[in-house]
Homo-oligomer: A and B are copies of this chain.
Amino acid sequence: MRSDLEPAGQKKPTFIEEARRRQIVETGIQTIASQGFSQASLAEIARKAGISKGVISYHFAGKEALVDEILRSLLRQPAEFIKERVSRHDSALGKLRAYIEANFEFMKTHRDNYVALVDLWGRRGSSGGHSSFNAEAHEPARHYLAHILDAGRERGELRQIPVRTTASVVQAAIDGVMLQWVFDEEAIDLDVSRAEILEMVTRHVMPQATGELR
């Protein structure tokens, strides 16, 4: 018998347990990306994974729990990649630019992740209320960016920008392009969009260039 309710933290996540969960999550992402969430039934995911439907119920408390795990995976992967890239730089501007570049680089190699993510954006809890998952999901990114900007502003490296708002807008530009690209891959050139955002944002936060303090 398995239980999600261990006394304190995880007790013993079996080898098989971990592997199966990973497999099911991964297959779930692929299924959502290729057929849409509405077609991603437990039966279909199980079929694609080559396992019985009961296995999913055995390893996950329910579909809700599986989708939560999928969402966590979709958010964790790019976050880790981006943080690593940002950490290679010291200056605020370098970090900011690396943040934007890493976002686009991850996009290019993980399209399915974002197609699935957009598909899950519309999700709500079973009850009527809003799922706070999405709200909490984008907050860390804003906070992380704001931290970078704030450090640069303190050091006089950047303009006196409203860091929280600027962080929000920078993330918005990235997300917005990603959305258009998910909807129509042909219509958006990620490299060109990345360069444009980099230029625009750099102009926006730099103290001099051609502009000056607000």
- Asked if A165 and B192 make an inter-chain contact with CB atoms under 8 angstroms apart, the answer reads yes
Q: Does A57 sit within 8 A of B, measured CB to CB?
A: no
- Asked if B183 and A169 make an inter-chain contact with CB atoms under 8 angstroms apart, the answer reads no
Q: Does A50 sit within 8 A of B, measured CB to CB?
A: no
* Chain B residues in 8 Å Cβ range of A139: 184, 187
Given A193-B169, A200-B200, A208-B210, the answer on whether A35 and B128 have CB atoms closer than 8 Å is yes
- Asked if A123 and B177 make an inter-chain contact with CB atoms under 8 angstroms apart, the answer reads no
B-contact 0/1 string along A162-201, CB 8 Å cutoff: 1001101101111111011001100111001100110111
Checking B119, B138, B166, B176 against A175 with a beta-carbon cut-off of 8 angstroms, the contacting residue is B176
21 interchain pairs (CB within 8 A)?
A35-B128, A37-B122, A118-B122, A165-B192, A165-B193, A165-B196, A168-B180, A169-B196, A172-B173, A172-B175, A173-B173, A175-B175, A175-B179, A179-B179, A200-B204, A203-B203, A203-B204, A203-B211, A204-B204, A208-B210, A210-B210
